Amino acid sequence: MIVKVLIIVACGSLAFAQYAAPRAYVSEPKYAPIPYSFQYNVNDPQTYDVHSQSESSDGNGNVKGSYSLLEADGSTRVVEYTADDHSGFNAVVKKIEGGYKAPYSGPAPVYKPIYA
């Protein structure tokens, strides 16, 4: 019985010790900036999911990109953005009217309250 109590106390002490003992600070390693570029497009006629994005960076904190998506009203929203350490994040939003519309599926359902 005493052995079980000692084992439980020892386990509890070890568990508490990991939070009570101060730890040395280890800084994150510094990596050289790496330029990158990516782009993708989605056009799913079954779900009417139409969107795209492209972005690139010179590796020095300067980022340029854009994305677009098909809105429910058939217009396309286009966002062009830049980001850097000096001026932060800046975006220009454009709306292109017309374009692709989902087929008409009939009138919207009318819901009546259960309790009147």
Kindly tell me if the per-residue pLDDT of 113 is higher than 80.
no
Q: Which residue has the higher pLDDT, 6 or 23?
A: 23
- Taking the C-alpha atoms of residue 52 and residue 69, their distance in angstroms, rounded to an integer, is 7
Asked whether 85 and 60 are in contact (CB, 8 A), the reply is no
pLDDT for 60-87, tens place per residue? 889 999 999 998 888 899 999 999 989 9
Tokens of 42: 């989605």
Position 17 confidence tier, pLDDT thresholds 50, 70, 90: low
Kindly tell me if the per-residue pLDDT of 97 is higher than 60.
yes
Q: What share of the chain is helix, strand, coil (3-state, %, to 5)?
A: 15, 40, 45
Residue 47 CA to its chain's centroid (Å): 21
Position 10 confidence tier, pLDDT thresholds 50, 70, 90: low
Asked whether 6 and 21 are in contact (CB, 8 A), the reply is no
Kindly tell me if the per-residue pLDDT of 47 is higher than 70.
yes
Instruction: Note the pTM of the prediction, 2 decimals.
Output: 0.59
pLDDT for 48-58, tens place per residue? 889 999 999 99
Kindly tell me if the per-residue pLDDT of 88 is higher than 90.
yes
Average pLDDT, the chain: 81
Tell me the domain boundaries of the chain.
36-97
